[in-house]
């Protein structure tokens, strides 16, 4: 029964995909973010392009990942002062180096300061690009004349939101993180009692002391947004948008949130009617490997293959860590494919293939792949879930630790901190994930749950983008909450009113009782006299 | 573009329907509720039957609406003491009579007491039926031997939840109302600042005094649940379920909430990952009318047709109201079809056809239908939205006023209170809804929004029922909130801890300062001496 039903669902999904009829096409202005965020945005753009929509992408002149692709979109290139690759990659290498220094409070503070400096430089760069765009009258005329139906943007930077406000266009977000932390915190009630804050490493089951820790981590997570990025964008708002604006309000006014997560991956929590979960939308059935790689993978026989990559930003690990890891790999009966651009470790075994780039999805979807050693970026983790491959995680920055915590809580992954890694614990952890069946079983359960949706996450994303075009927004899905002052939203005024009424009533009763009492006493005295 | 796109969506919807492959079938135990709730549950059962599932329906021996239908389901008939039709219909006629008496506080109190007496009798009847089921060892054996995959129930009565707990089965709810009011209040954060309580007649935009009113209406709406129905079920829990249970916890433990609403109809609000919106799932394209009725409808010419019905429970209005309404209808150039079982009004015009029953959906879907005069039951209102027919509403009880308030807030309907109706205001209101284009335009906008979904609400419902079968529940979609005590959920313990720490710190500083101060003073004194 189960198999036939699942077949039914998959058949349904693929038919849904093919029966979305092509259409004359809308006109979409896209403001993406660099790096891994662009990798998934590009997949979404390919989907929208396939439906016949015209896409215009705003990119920085020094863009690192966002190249011109006339086959897919028209590019609008905005001059910026700094080289984005240099800003990101140099800062991130430094971040990794500091992280390796270890768990002392001073390291933690240094790391935090470093992280804030990355954020500040990046937001200033994008806000500056936005100002130049608005200052350029020809550019503004071009944008208005293009008659865009909507702005599609990743609000981890605020420029897309601001430009949409300036051009008075509906907004669709391709989102997980915003300038103040996890996206939901801007629009949905988020009880801290079971919703872990960014970076806390907590799950949805917390003791009292973990909940106290969670409170402090929320403050910490919101700090960079409130005091670094938001003021940068608010200055732009004040200058160019009548009446000013702030990033939080702009987020709350967005029409649809295409949220790059789902409740197989994330802990369940309150959500909102205009949040559409598209986690793993970039995943597709794996393609066959190139012959040479396929031969290498098959040569592993029954032991299978381990694959390792640390994502978009990090080419290599500190030398001593790479040496330790290579020596462990060399001892394993498995074959290993390792994306590593740094110096070739001297301890490298014959079973390990070092590559500059790997077809990650196709390898994850290969039945020979047994473990994925990864940094825990959202894209990679969602691909691991889609293909059902357990993860040994080495989180480096951003949301990676939190992502891996979610896998670990479900028994589908294990975390090793970069600061603690040595040959011994890496070997123990790797063998645990490889040899304990529960890791694979749990991950495959997550995979079954994730794949079991009435339509694919990608079709959902496309549907809701087109929905916003058809109805010129989706205002009816936004709550009234965002228009209210905090004291009205939290009913502070109602409570104060009721307290006042109760106090006045109590006082009146007391005064009445007192006057009655006095009168009686007086009468008693009169009688006695 | 728009038309082609919409065609694409409708094509997709119908294809989705046909490509859900039939399967060997699950085994579903259904505990429905009487009246209009059964009407929509039966539509859902037809959908599930079409997918090859075996259905077993538990019905009361004196059931009013739930007949035996061996073509659709196996019936399990439970003996109950009272005739359900008599309980409901006599009590409801009395309710309508009292409502007509008007808006004084005494009428309101009488009405409230009457409403509570209906609730109390109904819940006692169902709880008693449940106790008999559990006491009957053969019945329990039959239920266990049937190896049901899940319980599908309408939690406006609690018996389905309790039986599922007793049989340790996953639960899918077909729900809008629960024993304590609107369903969401049991599981989702519900800020009273923009979420109107049952019966308040408020929208999501409230002034301070409306928000105070909302607070009192929430207390009022929760009263019958907390003090009448829940204790009835808790007594059953205590007797038959190890460790006892309560209805609220059982609701929070339910796997999937198929919610008979959506955010075209309802005001947007926070929701939960396991709530699936299936509002209007019972709606289908209209069938052609029978020849005689079609001829009557066509004879209306360009003026079109008005249809009027007051739903499942109410056959007729008080005589004087019926007379007034009939005389207004007689003056109209439209033709009128009126479901009315009471005495034939003497003022009835030739243009008015009185019927015992009408094909409501087919008439609402007929292009000649211009206005729907209705009581505002959820089914009828959702059908009016589906077919885009504006509504003149005469709310009688339950959620009808609240439903109509939602339409009125969108300019798609108008409300007349039964207590206030007379010929004059009925005529004014009817002409307003008929002749002001905005009512029809707004309703048709709602219709377009409602119909624009990636899969039909019925397919969504079936998908999630089967999902619970495939995965033996959907525990991963339930938040941790329901396992927490209220003081942990609201972080009261965290706040107390932090306040204690701050107080201790402040006191320590004060003590320190004081001792320093004293020492200095003493030194000063010593010096002076």
DSSP string, A59-91: EETT-SS----TTT-EEEEEP-SS-HHIIIIIH
pLDDT, greater one: A237 or A97: A237
A499 touches chain B (CB under 8 A): no
Helices vs strands, H then E, count in chain B: 19, 15
A264 touches chain B (CB under 8 A): yes
Shortest Cα distance, chain A CAs vs residue B146, angstroms = 17
In the predicted structure, residue A145 carries a pLDDT above the cut 90 = yes
Yes or no, beta carbons of B24 and A4 under 8 Å apart: yes
pLDDT, greater one: A98 or A63: A63
In the predicted structure, residue A191 carries a pLDDT above the cut 60 = yes
DSSP B172: E
Among the residue ranges A336-340, B225-229, B471-475, the one predicted with the least confidence is B225-229
Cα distances from B332 to residues B348, B351, B414, B432, B497, in angstroms, run 12, 8, 18, 13, 70
In the predicted structure, residue B9 carries a pLDDT above the cut 60 = no
- CB contacts of A15 in chain B (<8 Å) are 15-16, 19
The pLDDT value given to residue B24: 63
pLDDT, greater one: B101 or A494: A494
The two beta strands, A369-374 and A352-355, are: unpaired
Nearest chain B residue to A184 by CA: give it: B270
B6 touches chain A (CB under 8 A): yes
CB B44 within 8 A of CB B460: no
In the predicted structure, residue B104 carries a pLDDT above the cut 50 = yes
> Burial, A255: exposed, middle or buried (Cβ in 10 Å; 0-12, 13-18, 19+)?
buried
The pLDDT value given to residue A115: 76
Among the residue ranges A206-215, B85-94, B359-368, the one predicted with the least confidence is B85-94
pTM of the model: 0.92
Mean pLDDT of chain B: 89
Yes or no, beta carbons of B4 and A26 under 8 Å apart: no
In the predicted structure, residue A349 carries a pLDDT above the cut 50 = yes
Q: How confident is the model at residue A179 (pLDDT cuts 50, 70, 90)?
A: confident
Yes or no, beta carbons of A215 and B19 under 8 Å apart: no
In the predicted structure, residue B93 carries a pLDDT above the cut 80 = no
- From CA A37, how far away is CA B463, in angstroms rounded? 32
pLDDT tens-digit map of B432-470:
999 999 999 999 999 999 999 999 999 999 999 999 999
The pLDDT value given to residue B528: 72
The pLDDT value given to residue B120: 87
Q: Which residue in the set A1, A20, A493 is minimally distant from B12, CB to CB?
A: A20
Element (H, E) at B60: strand B54-60
Helices (H), A182-290: 208-224, 230-240, 247-253
- From CA A18, how far away is CA A8, in angstroms rounded? 15
Yes or no, beta carbons of A267 and B480 under 8 Å apart: yes
A147 touches chain B (CB under 8 A): no
Q: How confident is the model at residue A15 (pLDDT cuts 50, 70, 90)?
A: very low
Q: Which residue in the set B211, B269, B273 is minimally distant from A263, CB to CB?
A: B273
pLDDT, greater one: B266 or B13: B266
For chain A, give the percent of residues with pLDDT over 90.
70
> Burial, A501: exposed, middle or buried (Cβ in 10 Å; 0-12, 13-18, 19+)?
exposed
The two beta strands, B181-182 and B177-178, are: antiparallel
pLDDT, greater one: A79 or B330: B330
Encoding tokens for residue B398?
A: 């339950």
Q: Which residue in the set A188, A204, A491 is minimally distant from B193, CB to CB?
A: A491
Encoding tokens for residue B254?
A: 């339910």
A454 touches chain B (CB under 8 A): yes
The pLDDT value given to residue B315: 65
Q: Top-level CATH class of B22-80+122-194+226-281+456-478?
A: alpha beta
Within 10 Å of residue A230's Cβ, how many Cβ atoms? 20
- CB contacts of A459 in chain B (<8 Å) are 454
The pLDDT value given to residue B529: 66
Q: Which residue in the set B194, B488, B489 is minimally distant from A484, CB to CB?
A: B194
- CB contacts of B477 in chain A (<8 Å) are 263, 268
- The CATH number corresponding to A291-451 among 3.40.50.2000, 3.30.1330.40, 1.10.1740.10, 3.40.50.620 equals 3.40.50.2000
Cβ neighbours for A340, distance < 8 A, ≥ 6 positions apart: A308, A315, A316, A317, A322, A354, A355
- From CA A254, how far away is CA A264, in angstroms rounded? 25
- From CA A343, how far away is CA A357, in angstroms rounded? 15
Strand spans (E) along B284-347: 305-309, 335-339
Q: In what order do the strands lie in the sheet with B256-259?
A: B74-78, B54-60, B27-31, B150-153, B171-175, B256-259, B275-277
Mean pLDDT of chain A: 89
Q: Distance between terminal CA atoms of chain B?
A: 99
- CB contacts of A252 in chain B (<8 Å) are none
- From CA B217, how far away is CA B200, in angstroms rounded? 6
Q: How confident is the model at residue B11 (pLDDT cuts 50, 70, 90)?
A: very low
Yes or no, beta carbons of A471 and B448 under 8 Å apart: yes
In the predicted structure, residue B18 carries a pLDDT above the cut 70 = no
Q: How confident is the model at residue A466 (pLDDT cuts 50, 70, 90)?
A: very high
Q: Which residue in the set A12, A191, A494 is minimally distant from B19, CB to CB?
A: A12
The pLDDT value given to residue A180: 81
In the predicted structure, residue A232 carries a pLDDT above the cut 60 = yes
The pLDDT value given to residue A313: 64
Please state the three-class secondary structure of A133-168 as a single string: HHHCHHHHHHHHHCCCCEEEECCCCCHHHHHHHHHC
Q: Distance between terminal CA atoms of chain A?
A: 99
Yes or no, beta carbons of B194 and A20 under 8 Å apart: no
B51 touches chain A (CB under 8 A): no
Cβ neighbours for A527, distance < 8 A, ≥ 6 positions apart: none
Among the residue ranges A499-503, A521-525, B1-5, the one predicted with the least confidence is B1-5
Q: What are phi and psi of B295, to 5 degrees?
A: -65, -40
Nearest chain B residue to A482 by CA: give it: B194
pLDDT, greater one: B313 or B48: B48
The pLDDT value given to residue B264: 96
- From CA B229, how far away is CA B250, in angstroms rounded? 14
In the predicted structure, residue B511 carries a pLDDT above the cut 80 = yes
Cβ neighbours for B49, distance < 8 A, ≥ 6 positions apart: B55, B72, B73
> Burial, B254: exposed, middle or buried (Cβ in 10 Å; 0-12, 13-18, 19+)?
buried
B191 touches chain A (CB under 8 A): yes
In the predicted structure, residue B288 carries a pLDDT above the cut 50 = yes
pLDDT, greater one: A22 or B149: B149
Among the residue ranges A483-487, B99-103, B143-147, B276-280, the one predicted with the least confidence is B99-103
Yes or no, beta carbons of B273 and A274 under 8 Å apart: no
pLDDT tens-digit map of A109-133:
777 787 788 788 889 989 999 999 9
CB B166 within 8 A of CB B135: no
Q: ipTM value of the model? A: 0.91
Within 10 Å of residue A509's Cβ, how many Cβ atoms? 10
- The CATH number corresponding to A2-82+123-187+233-281+456-483 among 3.40.1350, 3.40.50, 1.25.40, 3.10.20 equals 3.40.50
In the predicted structure, residue B12 carries a pLDDT above the cut 60 = no
pLDDT tens-digit map of A407-430:
999 999 999 998 889 999 999 999
B502 touches chain A (CB under 8 A): no
CB A151 within 8 A of CB A29: yes
Nearest chain B residue to A276 by CA: give it: B273
Yes or no, beta carbons of B21 and A15 under 8 Å apart: no
- From CA A376, how far away is CA A402, in angstroms rounded? 8
Average confidence (pLDDT) over B382-399: 93
For residue A174, the SS3 value is strand
B205 touches chain A (CB under 8 A): yes
Within 10 Å of residue A234's Cβ, how many Cβ atoms? 18
The pLDDT value given to residue B14: 41
- From CA A63, how far away is CA A87, in angstroms rounded? 11
Within 10 Å of residue A109's Cβ, how many Cβ atoms? 10
Q: Which residue in the set B267, B270, B484 is minimally distant from A193, CB to CB?
A: B484
Element (H, E) at B174: strand B171-175
DSSP B183: G
Encoding tokens for residue B376?
A: 């505002």
| Upper half-sphere CA count for residue A215 (Cβ side, 13 Å) | 14
Cβ neighbours for A85, distance < 8 A, ≥ 6 positions apart: A62, A64
Average confidence (pLDDT) over B499-525: 89
Q: How confident is the model at residue A507 (pLDDT cuts 50, 70, 90)?
A: very high
Cα distances from A301 to residues A288, A294, A297, A335, A375, in angstroms, run 17, 12, 8, 9, 27
pLDDT, greater one: A458 or A528: A458
- From CA A497, how far away is CA B210, in angstroms rounded? 12
Among the residue ranges B55-69, B216-230, B471-485, the one predicted with the least confidence is B216-230
A189 touches chain B (CB under 8 A): yes
Element (H, E) at B370: strand B369-374
Nearest chain B residue to A487 by CA: give it: B193
- CB contacts of A217 in chain B (<8 Å) are none
Encoding tokens for residue B23?
A: 């399967």
The pLDDT value given to residue A6: 44
- From CA B380, how far away is CA B376, in angstroms rounded? 7
pLDDT tens-digit map of A248-297:
999 999 999 999 999 999 999 999 999 999 999 999 999 999 999 999 99
- From CA B269, how far away is CA B276, in angstroms rounded? 14
Yes or no, beta carbons of A479 and B270 under 8 Å apart: yes
The pLDDT value given to residue A524: 76
B482 touches chain A (CB under 8 A): no
Q: Which residue in the set A1, A269, A489 is minimally distant from B479, CB to CB?
A: A269
Q: Which of A383, A268, A285, A2 is CA-nearest to residue B482?
A: A268
pLDDT, greater one: A525 or A361: A361
Residues in chain A, overall count: 529
Yes or no, beta carbons of B191 and A490 under 8 Å apart: yes
In the predicted structure, residue A70 carries a pLDDT above the cut 60 = yes
């Amino acid at each position: 029964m189960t198999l036939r039903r699942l077949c039914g669902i998959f058949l349904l999904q693929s038919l849904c995909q093919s029966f979305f009829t092509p259409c004359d096409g809308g006109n979409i202005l896209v403001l993406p973010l660099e790096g891994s965020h662009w990798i998934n945005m590009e997949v979404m753009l390919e989907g929208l392009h396939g439906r016949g929509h015209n896409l215009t992408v705003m990119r920085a002149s020094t863009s690192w990942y966002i190249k011109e692709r006339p086959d897919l979109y028209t590019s609008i290139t905005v001059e910026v002062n700094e080289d984005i690759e240099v800003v990101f990659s140099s800062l991130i290498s430094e971040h990794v180096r500091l992280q390796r220094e270890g768990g002392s409070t001073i390291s933690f503070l240094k790391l935090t300061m470093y992280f804030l400096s990355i954020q500040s430089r990046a937001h200033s760069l994008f806000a500056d690009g936005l100002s130049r765009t608005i200052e350029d009258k020809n550019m503004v005329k071009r944008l208005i004349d293009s008659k865009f139906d909507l702005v599609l943007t990743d609000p981890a930077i605020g420029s897309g939101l601001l430009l949409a406000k300036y051009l008075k266009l509906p907004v669709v977000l391709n989102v997980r993180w915003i300038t103040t932390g996890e996206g939901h915190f801007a629009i949905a009630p988020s009880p801290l009692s079971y919703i872990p804050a960014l970076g806390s490493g907590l799950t949805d089951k917390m003791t009292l002391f973990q909940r106290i820790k969670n409170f402090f981590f929320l403050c910490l997570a919101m700090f960079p947004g409130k005091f670094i990025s938001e003021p940068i964008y608010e200055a732009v708002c004040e200058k160019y948008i009548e009446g000013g604006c702030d990033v939080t309000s702009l987020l709350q006014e967005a029409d649809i949130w295409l949220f790059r997560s789902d409740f197989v991956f994330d802990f369940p929590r309150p959500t909102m009617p205009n949040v559409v979960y598209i986690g793993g939308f970039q995943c597709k059935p794996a393609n066959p490997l190139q012959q040479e790689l396929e031969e290498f993978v098959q040569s592993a026989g029954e032991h299978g293959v381990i694959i390792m990559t640390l994502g978009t930003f990090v080419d290599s690990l500190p030398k001593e860590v790479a040496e330790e890891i290579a020596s462990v790999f060399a001892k394993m009966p498995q074959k290993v494919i390792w994306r590593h651009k740094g110096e070739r470790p001297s301890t490298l075994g014959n079973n390990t293939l070092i590559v500059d780039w790997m077809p990650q999805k196709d390898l994850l979807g290969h039945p020979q792949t047994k473990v994925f050693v990864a940094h825990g970026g959202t894209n990679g983790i969602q691909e691991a879930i889609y293909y059902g491959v357990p993860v040994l995680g080495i989180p480096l920055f951003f949301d990676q630790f939190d992502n891996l915590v979610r896998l670990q809580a479900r028994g589908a992954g294990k975390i090793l901190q970069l600061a603690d890694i040595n040959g011994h614990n890496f070997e123990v952890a790797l063998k645990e994930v490889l040899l304990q069946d529960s890791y694979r079983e749990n991950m495959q359960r997550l995979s079954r749950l994730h794949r079991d949706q009435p339509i694919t996450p990608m079709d959902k994303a496309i549907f809701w983008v087109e929905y916003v075009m058809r109805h010129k927004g989706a205002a009816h899905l936004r709550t009234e909450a965002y228009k209210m002052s905090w004291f009205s939203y939290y009913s502070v005024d109602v409570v104060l009113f009721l307290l006042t009424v109760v106090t006045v009533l109590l006082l009146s009763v007391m005064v009445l009782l007192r006057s009655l009492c006095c009168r009686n006493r007086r009468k008693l005295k009169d009688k006695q006299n």
